[in-house]
């Protein structure tokens, strides 16, 4: 009796790895202080809100504003002094040129005594010295004005950095309180960009092969999304995996929802 062998050819089933990722804001940034000072005011009510335009942290800038006022006044005084000295220099230049011309004329005359020639030379040298001294003062005043302008810019920059003003940003958390003293590098606030969302995945080497040709499934539904960014080297924490990101539109509801992700 012949034995009959039935061979069943089963299709090769390919299984993709299942990942779970939290729907995160597109970006998150910690604002750090660029200056030192005492924290005067913190708007705690602004936490957890989208800020259109508002100051949320104010660092003491009273002395900076006084210094700025004084610097601006000093600049006005210096500019007035410069204007006066320029007028003086114009008159001294004319006097110096006349005395120079007179000395040049009398020095060639044999009928002029040595005393007259010496007196003419002394008057010429004195006028020239006075003119050059005024020119030197003008240069010094210009330098002082330039330094004062730089001081004004620095003070304006310092004052601006002592007010943390957010515009069209989501304030996740304030990291200082009134009465705190901060130094450069102290964390002040954490803000998030909610204009779109992202999913962070850690994929194995075989998963990122031909990644451009693979479809993204979210919660078991095929989507038109794709992997937007893949790191070239493995992650510091997940040493055998590559960090990857998928960018999505901002959700209508809240962020932080856990989503099932498959790449196949």
Give the closest residue to 141 by CA, choosing from 74, 194, 193, 190.
74
Q: Where in the sequence is the domain holding 137, given as residue range(s)?
A: 62-160
The backbone torsions φ and ψ at residue 57, rounded to the nearest 5 degrees and listed phi first, read -140, 135
How far apart CA 25 and CA 249 sit, in angstroms, is 10
- The verdict on 174 and 46 lying in the same domain is yes
198 - beta bridge partners?
24, 247
Last residue of a domain, one of 99, 126, 160: 160
Residue 220 placed within a domain: yes
Residue 12 placed within a domain: no
Q: For residue 118, give the H/E element and its range.
A: helix 114-161
Residue 5 placed within a domain: no
CA dihedral (176, 53, 64, 40) positive or negative: negative
Q: What share of the chain is helix, strand, coil (3-state, %, to 5)?
A: 40, 30, 30
According to DSSP, residue 262 is labeled E
Residue 7 placed within a domain: no
- The verdict on 187 and 259 lying in the same domain is yes
pTM of the model: 0.76
Taking phi over 0 as left and psi of -120 to 50 as alpha, with beta for the rest, 48 belongs to left
pLDDT at 15: 53
Angle between helices 114-161 and 62-106 (to 10 degrees): 160
How far apart CA 149 and CA 82 sit, in angstroms, is 15
pLDDT at 9: 37
53 - beta bridge partners?
167
Structural domains in the chain (count) = 2
pLDDT at 217: 94
pLDDT tens for the chain, 264 residues: list them: 445 444 343 343 345 689 999 999 999 999 999 999 999 999 999 999 999 999 999 999 999 999 999 999 999 999 999 999 999 999 999 988 988 888 888 888 878 788 888 788 888 889 899 999 999 999 999 999 999 999 999 999 999 999 999 998 999 999 999 999 999 999 999 999 999 999 999 999 988 888 888 999 999 999 999 999 999 999 888 888 999 999 999 988 788 889 999 998
Residue 10 placed within a domain: no
CA torsion 31-37-40-44 (nearest 10°) is 20
Residue 8 placed within a domain: no
**Beta-sheet strands, E only, within 175-231:** 181-182, 187-203, 216-218, 221-223, 229-230
CA dihedral (68, 70, 76, 80) positive or negative: negative
- The verdict on 155 and 88 lying in the same domain is yes
- The verdict on 72 and 135 lying in the same domain is yes
pLDDT at 110: 79
CATH number at residue 218: 2.40.50.100
| Contacts (Cβ under 8 Å, ≥6 apart) of 209 | none
Label residues 214-245 b or e (16+ Cβ within 10 Å = b).
bebbbeeeeeebebeeeeeeeeeeeeebbbbb
pLDDT at 11: 40
CA dihedral (225, 229, 232, 238) positive or negative: negative
- The verdict on 168 and 156 lying in the same domain is no
Residue 30 placed within a domain: yes
pLDDT at 86: 95
According to DSSP, residue 7 is labeled -
């Amino acid at each position: 009796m012949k034995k009959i062998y039935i061979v069943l050819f089963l299709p090769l089933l390919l299984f993709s790895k299942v990942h779970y990722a939290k729907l995160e804001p597109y970006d998150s940034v910690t604002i750090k202080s660029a200056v030192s000072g005492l924290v005067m005011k913190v708007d705690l009510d602004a936490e957890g809100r989208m800020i259109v335009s508002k100051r949320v942290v104010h660092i003491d800038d009273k002395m900076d504003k006084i210094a700025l006022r004084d610097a601006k006044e000093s600049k006005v005084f210096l500019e007035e002094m410069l204007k006066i000295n320029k007028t003086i220099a114009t008159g001294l230049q004319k006097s110096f040129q006349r005395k120079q011309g007179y000395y040049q004329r009398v020095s060639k005359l044999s009928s002029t005594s040595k005393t007259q020639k010496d007196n003419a030379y002394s008057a010429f040298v004195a006028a020239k010295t006075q003119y050059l001294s005024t020119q030197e003062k003008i240069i010094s005043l210009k330098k002082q004005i330039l330094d004062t302008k730089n001081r004004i810019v620095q003070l304006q920059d310092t004052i601006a950095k002592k007010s943390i003003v957010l515009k069209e940003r989501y304030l996740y958390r304030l990291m200082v309180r009134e009465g705190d003293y901060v130094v450069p590098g102290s964390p002040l606030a954490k803000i998030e960009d909610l204009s779109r969302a992202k999913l962070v995945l850690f994929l194995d080497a075989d998963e990122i092969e031909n990644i451009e040709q693979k479809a993204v499934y979210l919660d078991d539904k095929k989507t038109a999304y794709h992997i937007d960014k893949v790191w070239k080297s493995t992650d510091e924490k997940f040493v055998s995996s590559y960090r990857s990101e998928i960018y999505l539109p901002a959700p209508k509801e809240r962020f932080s929802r856990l989503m099932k992700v498959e790449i196949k």
